[in-house]
Amino acid sequence: MRQDHGKHSWPWWKEQIVSKWENDYWRFKMENSFEEAIFNIERDRQMSWLLKQKDRLTALHPDMSETMVHKRILRKCGGDLEHAIRKRCIEPCSTKDYINAMDDITTRTKIGINPQ
């Protein structure tokens, strides 16, 4: 594609990507991926899981505030873990703060571990 169109700025390339890939099926697939992704401490790495969910939400809703993105992601963590992260991160918090809090809580406590 670059050979056909030559050098262009990032906004031009972004527009081309959006026009090619952003359709109803893509939106449906992204929404389902976000809804099905529930954090599992035994399966998921904290940083990669949280950033993947943030990327999905910002792709679906580019005008959503960072605070709302964080709130929607935290709901996918589960009761005790969600509560512990909320208590550590008092708004306004950055994504980095949420990642650090999630990492500390899951590595230093048993919160989020499913009892067998």
pLDDT in tens, 61-97: 889 999 999 999 999 888 888 898 888 888 888 989 9
Is 5 part of any domain? no
Is 41 part of any domain? yes
Is 28 part of any domain? yes
Q: Distance from first CA to last CA of the chain, Å, rounded?
A: 52
Q: What is the pLDDT of residue 108?
A: 85
Is 115 part of any domain? no
- Domain count within the chain: 1
Is 2 part of any domain? no
Is 72 part of any domain? yes
Q: Is the pLDDT of residue 112 over 80?
A: no
Q: What is the pLDDT of residue 80?
A: 86
Is 4 part of any domain? no
Note down the domain range covering 25: 10-108
Among 83, 86, 113, 112, which Cα is nearest to 97's? 86
Among 93, 95, 91, 73, which Cα is nearest to 82's? 73
Express each pLDDT in 6-59 by its tens digit.
778 888 877 877 777 777 888 888 889 989 998 888 888 889 999 999 998 988
